[in-house]
Structure 1
Amino acid sequence: MSSFSRRAFLGGAGAATTGAALSLAGATFASAAEIDRALARTATRAVRIGGTTLEQVATPSGAAGYQRLLSGPGWPLVVRGELAGPQTGRDDRRTGLASFVQFTDMHLCDTESPMRFEYLARWNGAAHRPQETLTVRGASALVERVNAIATGPYTGLPFSLVMATGDNTDNHEQLELDWYLTVMSGGRITPNSGDPNRYEGVQNSGSAAYWNPELGYQDSYKAKGFPQIPGFLGAAGRSFDAPGLKTPWYTTVGNHDDSIEGTLPDLGLLNSIYTGDRKIEGCNDADAAKLAAQLQHDPAGAVLQLGRLLTDADAVREITPDARRKPFTTKEFAQAHLNPAHTGAGPYGHGFSSDAVASGNLYYAFRISDSVLGISLDTTNAAGFADGSIGSAQLSWLEKQLQAHSGHWYDTSGNAVRNGRGGDLIVLFSHHTSTTMGNLLPDPRHLFEKRHDGNELVALLQRYPNVVAWVNGHSHENRITAHGHAVPERAFWEINTASHIDFPQHARIIELADNGDGTISLFTTLIESSAPYATDFQDTSDAGLASLYRELSFNDLYATPAAKLGTALDHNTELVLAKPGR
């Protein structure tokens, strides 16, 4: 039977197993899942904690060097009342409105691709991670976790959907996109490119700058305690069957789905490098530092520097070319979601339509539940650089959606406007956060269109009381921000969740509930993949590799796990908000 945490039951309520049926307060249920939902509906704070960080959390066991992970105590629920006071008795009055899951920043990674910058890891930790050969297996283990949990801990409602909020691929390659779609929908995956019989990336380069897991000599990672694991790379590239989500899923686009390594604008000029036979594995510090700076400030110079490095025989390794590494366009990204082979649990297109393919506009509205509307935005900017913004046409479209689904709103002068049609609660999804939308360069897809930053978007959302949450990623950290302290009716919560490539590798369950007292609650519960917490360096099974994926991410030499983890205020929370007037 599932794990529960209760403060109290209703008087006379009890649970017992009798044969194949379960009984609660005189009612009979056929399964543990049904009793989970009944408990959540009828008991005071009856919570199904199994499989979530309410129950247990990956916890380091050492003080220095390479640290092993074990199962540690779960994190408690933290009630946040900055935007509305939590009322007593709300647990017993609560009615569930919606329950869904957020994935973000999975960065499914073709580590053998020529268009990668591993040699810049000292200057940018995201350029290379020792765990990145295992991204596909780690993501599949996360899917397994969601399939096993199936319902929200506090409302008991089955998940209506999973939303992946961008950077689903690492380098917007067609092969990475196929892996993403297959992880989400299910099917056979071979997480390998180039030569199918051998690994051709930096982790068997013999360079001390990288973790060479199969080699015995002391590279810089083994000097810090990383293990030697014979057969690791062959196992990492081995085919396996991904179960796929049992829940419908949707996609939001991120900058790594849109540009070269999430930074360089893709004008089609470097496709021959993507699909070619030359991979830069290292260069001298001066060249590396120069390229790292150019990627931040001078994209054109970075392209020229790449071309020069490709002629340096000491920096380049010859590999097997692979046409599947060709980068996809915005329209191809949408089209791939319409492939019936990837429909899985649905919906067809996963938010994208034939209109999105024709226009390249990757924003859309969709139904989360009967009373909750979802809006997915495209905050990427094809001009390059990691941060984003939003164009005027999309901003205008967004305001029309907000007006169509709001009972009332405030114009720019602060006057109330009513449409007389009631309204939905509205949850926005984007890749970028409000603080990472400062890239106002003209987007090459819409050269003459004005771009708008995160402050403008926050100001717009605060005019629409029906907006209750903005859910996003990009930062690779857990952070929940209250917007609108001064005027409760114009308040909403921004929910930012850590990535699934860097530790802590979290996803997030989000539930909405009406408290029956003029407030609503948003419950945010972090989850980890289904992989065991304890690793075994001799275990290269699928589960063993997924477990190692988590542990390696914690020990990445260039990572900062504490900075990504967030505080208790950003983990398992109840976010209270005034219910918008109807």
Structure 2
Amino acid sequence: MTGLSSAAATAALWPVLTPGRALAQDQALAATRARAVRIDGTTLERAATPVGQGGYRRLVAGPGWPVVVRGELAGATSGRDDRRTGLASFVQFTDLHLTDTESPVRFEYLARFNDSAHRPQEALTVRGASSLVERVNAVRQGPYTGLPFSMVMATGDNTDNHELIELDWYLTVMSGGRITPSSGDLTRYEGVQNSGDTQYWNPESALRDAYKAKGLPQIPGFLSGAIRPFDAPGLSLPWYTTVGNHDDSIEGSLPDLGLLNSLYTGSRKVEGCDDATAAQLADALVHDPGKAAVLLGRLLTNGGSIRTVTSDERRHPFTPAEFAKAHLNPAYTGAGPVGHGFTPDSAAGGKLYYTFDLADGVLGISLDTTNRAGFADGSLGSTQLAWLESVLKAHSGHWYDSDGHTVRGGSDDRLVVVFSHHTSTTMGNLLPDPYRPFEGRHSGDELVALLQRFPNVVAWVNGHTHENRISAHGHAVAERAFWEINTASHVDYPHHARIIEIADNQDGTISLFTTLIESAAPYTTDFSDTSDRGLAALYRELAYNDPYATPSARIGTAADHNTELLLTRPAT
């Protein structure tokens, strides 16, 4: 289906809009297109839109989303489009969650308590991510500056359960190559979606399961298609990696102290348990990792529904050092750079934070906000916080000390974009790192305070929440403000990535343009089509229809989608 652009079509897709509001939407889109260099392949052109009422809802290509100008931190002056000079253009991926759905260390039976434990679409994560790569390769440049993308940054949770096989899939999706998105016996699927258990969606079966009762279809050939080998094109531009909690711990929650390694690579998979145990385990994963490990052990010995699967050493969990080392493998260099931000020193010491040249005059800083003590949320260690402050001082013409006094810096004054997995509001996990028990941990509020001391910090880009949310971090001194740009995941609907452009308006302000993009998959699905494109389309639509998810909460508001974020340009 082609994109819809008339006021009548807008009103048809969004019945809650009055004709007047639909017309205003069309006018805003027209104004947006007039300001852009190009809109092809972005949500400025068209966006996935649900149609129908109740039950299983189909997706179509609906009207695009207009740009929203946000002036909380600086005013917008007329004529800036004509004066604009592009400084940087890049893409953010986040929370790909490439998932080994056949792994014994998964908690699918907790989905009714925690929607991330099992998703009906998760067998298609690898194909969905590769389709997103296809989109970036096709779009190639920022819609407002016209600058070619300098790089893609994946801001963490690139794997779902920090398994070596998931890491191989991620690195191959990004760099290109042949992928078989299956583990264990590669000739057949061995996960909960052909278990015959009615609590799961069994897509190839006529079984009346809980998901089909909510409208999900029967799709013959779905699982065999999901594990079929395919060729990933890989990104045609440089890419970098930031680490997330799912890249660092068991299901993103339990500290990995090596106690479950044999379970990862073994042949016993828990597929179900009684409601009381499931409720206790779901709560323990959030509040008490130690108790969670004990409960999991009990399920394996008695009380759990156990399935025998084919063991696979490639499911072994990786360490931070192994994570960095894998990025240095020449097989995964792709469009570069070698190591994708990590160095041999990173591999030797497991140091997963670094700097890189994002564009001429723009420095990128990638942080490691994970806490190996467990739990989903994060923080920064004292060593990393001190390192960050030293880097900012080295690349700032001036900054402010903790008392608010101006300090003159060196000559290498650059704009700075900070990347992390966690957000300012999800960095309250101050438990001691078991691998550095005597090191202090620091919160998101402390990181905001540090960044605001450096006027050349223009943005903090992150993921983790699976929501689109853009926040203004204002300050009484205008040049000390910056924007926090949080983007939804590519495992839960709405399956977004984000183009970010930085432009000098030549009037004392900077504009950050944020434009959401979707994968290259067709918007409409065909339940008889299990080709690579057909599966990628189903990945998006099934995610919207996950009965345990809340897509409306994750998609964000118009002010979190396609935006122009204004800032006062720091004085030189």
TM-score when normalising by structure 1:
0.92
After superposition, residues 165-176 of structure 1 pair within 5 angstroms as 165-176=155-166
**1:234-383 correspondence runs (5 A):** 234-312=224-302, 315-383=305-373
Aligned partner of 2:378: which letter? G
Q: Which residue in the other structure is 2:437 paired with?
A: 447
**Pairing partner for 1:512 from 502, 506, 517:** 502
Q: Does 1:573 align with 2:558?
A: no
* TM superposition shift of 1:296: 1.3
1:64 corresponding residue in structure 2: 54
- TM-aligned CA deviation for residue 485 of structure 1: 4.4
From 459, 473, 480, the counterpart of 1:483: 473
Which residue of 104, 117, 124 corresponds with 1:134? 124
Query: Structure 1: which amino acid aligns with 2:519?
Result: S
- 2:339 counterpart letter in structure 1: G
Shift of 1:300: 1.2
- Find out whether 1:78 has 2:68 as its counterpart: yes
Provide the residue aligned with 2:142 in structure 1: 152
Task: Report deviation, 1:45.
Answer: 2.2
Distance 1:504 1:403, change over 3 A: same
Provide the residue aligned with 2:15 in structure 1: none
Name the counterpart of 2:115. 125
Aligned-residue offset at 1:47: 2.6
- 1:321-342 deviations in Å (ceiling 9; x for gaps): 0110000000000000000000
Letter of the structure 2 residue corresponding to residue 394 of structure 1: Q
- Tell me if the contact between 1:337 and 1:343 (Cα under 8 Å) persists in the aligned partners: yes
Q: CA deviation at 1:445?
A: 2.2
Distance 1:419 1:265 in 2: 40
Shift of 1:283: 0.4
Pairwise CA distance, 1:422 = 5.3
Q: 1-side partners of 2:36 and 2:381: how far apart? A: 44
Distance in 2 (CA, whole Å) between partners of 1:486 and 1:559 is 39
Question: In structure 2, how many angstroms separate the alpha carbons of the residues matched to 1:99 and 1:444?
Answer: 39
Q: Which amino acid aligns with 2:484?
A: E
1:425 to 388, 412, 415: 415
2:136 and 2:480 map into 1 onto residues whose CA distance is: 33
Measure, in 2, the Cα distance between the counterparts of 1:370 and 1:400. 21
2:338 aligned counterpart, secondary structure: coil
8 Å CA contact 2:394–2:412 kept in 1: the answer is no
1:487 to partner: Cα distance: 2.5
Q: CA deviation at 1:420?
A: 4.6
Are the counterparts in 2 of residues 138 and 549 from structure 1 also a CA contact under 8 Å? Answer: yes
Task: Please state whether the residue corresponding to 1:216 is helix, strand or coil.
Answer: coil
Provide the C-alpha distance between the structure 1 equivalents of 2:547 and 2:103, rounded to a whole number of angstroms.
22
Deviation by residue 1:395-442 (Cα, 9 ceiling, x = unmatched): 000001100111100001110001251510000000000000000000
Q: How far apart in 1 are the matches of 2:161 and 2:499?
A: 27
Aligned mates of 1:444, 1:102 — CA distance in 2: 31
Partner of 1:21: none
Aligned to 1:503: 493
Match of 1:102 among 77, 92, 102: 92
The amino acid across from 2:236 in the alignment is K
Stretches of structure 2 that go unaligned for 5 or more consecutive residues are 6-32
Decide which moves more: 292-301 or 215-224: 292-301
Q: Alpha-carbon deviation of 1:499?
A: 0.1
| Paired amino acid for 2:287 | H
Match of 1:178 among 168, 180, 186: 168
Q: State how far apart, in whole Å, the 1-side matches of 2:253 and 2:409 are.
A: 42
CA distance in 2, matches of 1:148, 1:199: 32
1:51 maps to which residue? 41
CA contact (8 A) 2:394 2:410 kept: no
Instruction: For 1:545, give the aligned amino acid.
Output: L
Change (3 A) 1:204 1:515: same
Separation in structure 1 between the aligned mates of residue 160 and residue 417 of structure 2, nearest angstrom: 26
Q: Percent identity?
A: 74
Question: 2:225 aligned with 1:225, yes or no?
Answer: no
Residue 534 of structure 2 corresponds to residue 544 of structure 1: yes
What SS does the aligned partner of 1:349 have? helix
- Give 1:13's aligned residue: none
Contact residue 54 and residue 74 of structure 1 kept, 8 A: yes
Alpha carbons of 1:420 and 1:315: their partners in 2 closer, same or farther (altered >3 Å)?
closer
Query: Aligned-pair distance for 1:250?
Result: 0.1
Name the counterpart of 1:26. Answer: none
Match of 2:200 in 1: 210
Distance in 2 (CA, whole Å) between partners of 1:174 and 1:550 is 26
One-letter code aligned to 2:241: T
* Secondary structure of the structure 2 residue equivalent to 1:281: strand
4+ residue runs of structure 1 moved beyond 6 angstroms?
A: none
- Is 1:402 aligned to residue 392 of structure 2? yes
Q: Secondary structure at the match of 2:521?
A: coil
The answer as to whether partners of 1:44 and 1:91 remain within 8 angstroms in 2 is no
Distance in 1 separating the partners of 2:360 and 2:484: 22
**Per-residue deviation, residues 502-538 of structure 1 (Å, max 9, x unmatched):** 0000000000000000101000000000000000000
CA distance in 2, matches of 1:511, 1:53: 15
Which residue in the other structure is 1:411 paired with? 401
| RMSD of aligned Cα (Å) | 1.2
Contact persistence 1:462–1:490 (CA under 8 A): yes
Unaligned runs of 5+ in 1: 6-42
Deviations 1:195-228 (A, max 9, x none): 1111110000111100000110210111111110
CA offset digits 1:354-398 (Å, max 9, x no partner): 111111110000001111100000000000000000000000000
- Contact 1:44 / 1:92 at 8 angstroms: preserved in 2? no
TM-score by length of 2: 0.94
| SS of residue paired to 1:310 | helix
CA–CA distance in 1 between the matches of 2:175 and 2:369?
Answer: 25
